[in-house]
Amino acid sequence: MAKRKRKGRDELRRALRCVVYDMLILKWAIEDLRSNDPRVADLRFGRDEVSLAAALIKFRTLYDFLTRSSSDNGVRNTDILVEDFGLAPKVFSNEIVQFRKSLDKFGAHLTYQRAVKSKDYPQPTRRQAKKYGSKLLDIANALVQECLDSGYSLPPVGRKYYKQFRGNPS
């Protein structure tokens, strides 16, 4: 793979906005999962399945942002990585790593492991999405704050996302 091109300040501002957007959507999805939406008759799930799917997708994007390195297989020059901001990739517990692997089988791809309910990759649960998603948000928030404290800034819409994320909508 070719060496990654160093990103300019404006590119990094926009990238940080994308990170904050995914944080906000994950936060909202977790909040919706806590609402205990009623199940649809004859199904084992309800409309909160949409929130679970959103939580899984946004968990995956943020996890990859926080953990992947430019030297990893499959990383493209267009991927936003924590090291773009001069920070080292994060390492998570095996429990969270296994949850991330299950997302590939259940949340991001149509696979036969999903169809046969593989024991190696169990279906991610709402409880896991809430628990691990909240942990991930804490780490991502600390990273965003570290970026802001070290001189990076958010564009206007990114500042609005971050205010919403932090619970200060006005």
pLDDT in tens, 11-64: 999 999 999 999 999 999 999 887 766 666 666 777 778 889 999 999 999 999
Report percent pLDDT > 90 for the chain.
Answer: 60
Tokens standing for 95? 């429990």
Tokens standing for 151? 């001189």
Helix orientation angle between 48-67 and 126-149, rounded to the nearest 10 degrees = 40
Determine which of 23-27, 43-47, 79-83, 91-95 has the lowest per-residue pLDDT on average.
43-47
The structural domains of the chain, with segments of one domain joined by +, span: 9-88+126-166
